[in-house]
Structure 1
Amino acid sequence: MTNKIAHGGGITAAARHYGGRPEEWLDLSTGINPNPVALPEVPVSAWHRLPDQYLQERAREAARSYYRSGDILPLPVPGTQSVIQLLPRLVTGGSVAILSPTYGEYARAFTLAGLRVRQVATIADLTADDRLVVVVNPNNPDGRMLPVDRLRDLYERQRQTGGILLVDEAFGDVEPDASVAPYAASMPGLIIFRSFGKFFGMAGLRLGFVIAEASIMARFEDWLGPWAVSGPALSIATSLMGSDTTAIRDRILQRRLALETILRRSGLHVAGGTALFALVADERAEGIYTHLCRHHILVRKFDYARNWLRFGLAPDEEADRKLAGVLEPDYFRAARPKI
């Protein structure tokens, strides 16, 4: 069995190791909006009753408008992680190719299902035997972005061989024009995953959406079983996806600019990222990670790239000052490796 993957958000474990109470730590280890939006009013009936068809339909209509998916009503799911676990059921024969490095749960899910997994660096490395191709766009953790035209070409390539293309747009809300969702109705065999919690700052709600042809979404819905998404989650999504999200987007971009400014002033190389996180490449990454933890700041490190650290967004200017103070240039001069 493959090992469990260490994700961001492990504040409790970090506090046990480095001290301090979890609530005192600054958590920059996730790619989630650090300023969750205000909760809209949730009808008492959404808490009291099992989610009925009306709630589902309203949420799906709101998602269609928000994601601009045309004739397709996106399927609400209890977080996209839940449907990643189901993906192996769609693959019969051949191999699965994952444009890598990327979110590690894809490779883990396919490997645990006994499928042949190929982690490829470029589209040029794909073969006709790849029955399903996974592209996270924009990518986690390096922010790689394939343009829509390139994705449509890749879809046509998969279609000609009877394969499936999965595009994970979990970090795509800030750049809606980079989404392939508006073309999905004319692209059978394309699957799109969208995350609700990252952009709205509500990861704990555990809500995502699948955009695909009706037969594929029906299979996911059947596999998930009845009442997979809670009534309050559907109600909240309906309200927020139907609202003006300009202020949310602007605040995220302001926070991202503040983060990048701190990192660059500290002499760190920002090698990539998205609106919700920045990827730093530095040979001293392990030492920097420990230094930050000792000051109760958690970032994300990677076992497959020891020189990488991913910094999520800080919630406000006070947190900016804390991060900037810990990343004082004097520390880096002292930590510079001897040559």
Structure 2
Amino acid sequence: MIEILESGPFNTVQDLGRPGYRDIGVTASGAMDPLAVRIGNILVGNEENAAVIEVQTFPFRLRFEQRAVFTVTGADGNPDLDGSELLPWCAYAAEAGQVLELKQPPRLARAYIALGGGLDIPVVMGSRSTSLRGGFGGNAGRPLAKGDRIALGQDAEITMLPAAGLAVVEPAAALCDVFPASVDGVLPIRALPAGEHELFAGDGEAFWRQTWRISSRSDRTGYRLSGQPITPTASVEMRSHGVVPGVIQVPPGGEPIVQMSDANTAGGYPKIAGVIECDLWRLGQARIGARLQFVRSTHAEARTVERAVARYVDDIRQTSRMVKRALKAMA
């Protein structure tokens, strides 16, 4: 069991989402940085889809009411356990009564707390993710609040000893050869031209050339971008069509919207591009006000990045298994 001591309005329980229900209007939800969730769960000995706490408003504090293993992944910045600074991307053991605190990270947007055994949250439509718009899933369909108490999975004690002490190099550093760094504070995000790209003619090229800023009107549903508006060459009446996270639509005002984890299930705005899936976690870690530029990619490049990420995650998975086997042999 854990108890929330301090939280903000947008901190929720998330996993990797609930795909398969978009045809009935149910968004997938899930973590804005799914890579951080997968790695965090591996570090504490969980299945990769176990429920975690997504923190995007700080400070955040929780108290352990039992012995548990935990890790903090995602945002940069160091968590504190009873006032002692810890490393992120590293599994630790906590004793009953100890307090974990996450302070405002210096650059990135979201941190994830994975706990051994996972969070004992009811499964709704195959997922424990919170749907704030729908008011279901997660912690009674709402953000975490002071005084909330959440049980850990039954195997929390079992996973604790093998996992504690395991650490990894964070993705941005380990995969720097496939994830280009920001240039002068501008984050490059790779995307593919989408169905209605040709409708924008010269403005289509302006979409790729200019630097966009994430507007304060952004949320988990979509990032609204501020910049020089782009418009199609002629007005077009479109039927509503299915959309997924990463789709970039252009409303009549000309400032694009990038669909994110709580993406609408359908929409009628023209689609100018789509962010490649492996770059979505980077976009999910971008703060309000951050600047970004879209880089035209290819399907071949997207597959190359996907394979690099898969190798990275598999290496962590295999290392975790070897450590567990070694510790069991020593017991």
Q: TM-score, normalised by structure 1?
A: 0.29
More strand by share: 2
Q: TM-score, normalised by structure 2?
A: 0.29
